[in-house]
Amino acid sequence: MIEQIYEKVSNFERINREEGVKLLKEGDFLTLGKLASKIRFKKHPEKVVTFILDTNINYTNVCYVGCSFCAFYRKPHDRDAYTLSISQLVEKIKEAQSKGITTALIQGGLNPELPYDYYLNLVRELSKSTVHVHAFSPPEIDLMSKISGKTVDEVFEDLKDAGLTTMPGGGAEILSEGVRKRISPKKISTDRWLENMQKAHEHGIKTTATMMFGHVETEEDIIEHLDRVRALQDKTGGFTAFIAWDFKKENNELGKIVNRTVTGIDYLKIVAIARIYLDNFDNIQASWASQGKDVGELALHFGANDMGSMLIEENVMREAGFRAQASVEEIASVIRKAGFRPALRTTDYRIIKYL
């Protein structure tokens, strides 16, 4: 049976949920890598691996949702709670721009005290620079809709008018209601996450899809997640890339009850399964910031064609006790060592220059 699934994948046929679960549970590690690579090279025959130079700015750490896996959020009156003003954000962008970034990934906690205009001004002001504004996630869009009394469609219209063209795929974690109820019961439902994504795509706003694994989910949950984003991609074609990262246990409630650790092998298997299952996604990222440069390098032989971000600032993972830093040259040399030609890209995967 598993051989039949290998055969199907090798012939570039779509696999179903049951086959996906079997592959994830029983698939041979190196065979998965080989199959994922085969698909990668069919989609991207050239031996090029891209990455982006960006900054990740979190405009507030105040959040009422309190997800159990999150080490980043604060209550409004906590001593280290903060919300950046628009002018502080502009300053941060200027500083990052002087280091050569092309994109600003902007997300925040769900802070109900922020007025609707804050989000529109943020996009408007930051869009005045030459930096591409890649901002917000489906839960933030939902909050904007609530505080403004506008529909999600109207929120997207306003954000587009302000200058928003792309959005990151945060807040997905695992798109399975059972998992969501356990790790983030106050966050929007999986259906709502997908509905908001669909609306973004319908408004011409391209997004990524993400997944955070390695906590309470099962293999079935992982495949359910992949299946739901694949189904949405069939409908809209609005996802530019898929990014998986593993749960970090430090400084959060969920970490106290999860006793498994995601190894490099676990991570690579997920990258390969994502490449195999998500047959309608062009780009699969190797999140080197999550697993380190060595695993990132190997991921390029497990279906990934992109090294993701060279982050200038990353508060969320830093709060969870995880720091991964690298210079452009280091990432380029990791890509070369893996046998590929490095290239800097834009948010919509156009190559800026080869390195």
Can you give the binding site for ligand SF4, defined by CB under 6 A?
63, 65-67, 70, 72-73, 109-110, 139, 184, 187
Q: How far apart are CA 25 and CA 1, in angstroms?
A: 13
Q: How far is the CB of 139 from ligand SF4 (least distance, A)?
A: 6
Looking at beta carbons only, is 40 or 187 nearer to ligand SF4? 187
Minimum Å gap between C-beta 101 and ligand SF4 is 23
Q: Which residues contact 249 (CB under 8 A, 6 or more apart)?
A: 255, 258, 261, 320
CB burial of residue 268 (10 Å; 0-12, 13-18, 19+) = buried
Residues 6+ apart with CB under 8 A from 311: 54, 55, 56, 289, 325
Smallest gap from residue 140 Cβ to ligand SF4 (A): 9
Q: Cα separation of 122 and 141, whole Å?
A: 14
Cβ proximity to ligand SF4, 155 vs 276, nearer residue: 155
Tell me the closest approach of the beta carbon of residue 228 to ligand SF4, in angstroms. Answer: 19
Which CB, 70 or 268, lies closer to ligand SF4?
70
- C-beta closer to ligand SF4: residue 37 or 210: 210
Task: Identify whether the C-beta of residue 122 lies closer than 8 Å to the C-beta of residue 92.
Answer: no
Q: Which is nearer to ligand SF4, 63 or 307 (CB)?
A: 63
Q: Are residues 8 and 273 in contact, defined by beta-carbon separation less than 8 angstroms?
A: no
Distance of alpha carbon 103 from alpha carbon 52, whole angstroms: 8
CB of 173 to ligand SF4, least distance (A): 8
- Residue 256: CB atoms within 10 Å: 9
Residue number with CB closer to ligand SF4 (63 or 141): 63
CB closer to ligand SF4, 67 vs 335: 67
Distance CA 207, CA 136 (A): 10
Please give the Cα distance from 15 to 19 (Å, whole number).
6
Phi, psi of 97 (to 5 degrees): -65, -35
CB of 66 to ligand SF4, least distance (A): 5
Tokens 């929007």 label which residue? 188
* Whole-number Å distance between alpha carbons of 104 and 97: 9
Could you tell me the smallest distance in angstroms from the CB atom of residue 136 to ligand SF4? 12
Q: Using alpha carbons, list the distances in angstroms from residue 257 to 68, 211, 262, 295, 316.
A: 10, 20, 15, 26, 20
C-beta of 187: minimal distance to ligand SF4 in Å?
Answer: 6
What letter represents residue 224's amino acid? E
Nearest distance, CB of residue 269 and ligand SF4, angstroms = 25
Nearer to ligand SF4 by C-beta: 27 or 139? 139
Rank residues 67 and 131 by Cβ distance to ligand SF4 and give the closer one: 67
CB 246 within 8 A of CB 267: yes
